[in-house]
Structure 1
Amino acid sequence: MSGRRGSGRAGAGGFALPAGGAEAGARTEAAATAAPIGLALLALQEHGGERRRDVAARHRAGALLAELDGLQRELLAGGADLERLRRLAALQQGEAAEDPGLQEALEAIQLRARIELARRGWEESVADS
């Protein structure tokens, strides 16, 4: 006897898919996609003593994350709202944070927003029209 417990039988490699295979995989993929945003939120939350510039930077970072999340949902549904892209572009402007950790998180979020805008061919001339 091999010492294994359980009544189920695994495949040749000892691996068995849980019930709901494809759905469970989709949920796992969605969770993995959300992980970087979750890390950015944690970075934003762990900074305490806030100055005016840090409060503004934290607010802008949160707004960027919300817009990126909305964009992701829209893309999964089949399209992207032009107004959302305009808001993402507008949120690129603002003061830097005083806290270096917060500034680093903000820059990472802004980079992600710029990538999403570039993927959709967003240019400054589009933003002005």
Structure 2
Amino acid sequence: MTPKSQRLTLAILAVAAIVAAALLAMSALKDQASFFYSPSDAKRDGLPLGRAVRLGGMVQAGSIQRARDGVTVRFVVGDGQATTPVTFAGITPDLFRERSGVVAEGHFNPDGSFTATNLLAKHDEKYMPPQVAGAMHETKTLEK
């Protein structure tokens, strides 16, 4: 084998190894990815059943209901165009309240409701998660 063909073989093997490593990394991260939806996105695009997603919007006024078990909370998240009922079993953040921004991590149910495994609430009066602000800006632009 000539030195030129050895270099070509090594180069092809290096490219193949890099492609294989990239494919392995992508397949490993696929299950860890969490996509963001607003209620109107979920209504328009359909429910992504069976996968971890984030639902963001504003907690609707008068929608928070606490169950007698002291842990389960039901509320409605809206974005100005659509709403989604959410159930969360756990301790809510201190700043979780009506008319505030929230991002719920969890999954959609076939009936259109959302079961949250984690809640993220705003931290001051001016804060809104960037995805929620962008989604609400888009829905207000579409209304005009």
Higher helix share: 1
State the TM-score, normalized to the length of structure 1: 0.28
Higher relative CO (Cα under 8 Å, sequence separation at least 6) belongs to 1
State the TM-score, normalized to the length of structure 2: 0.26
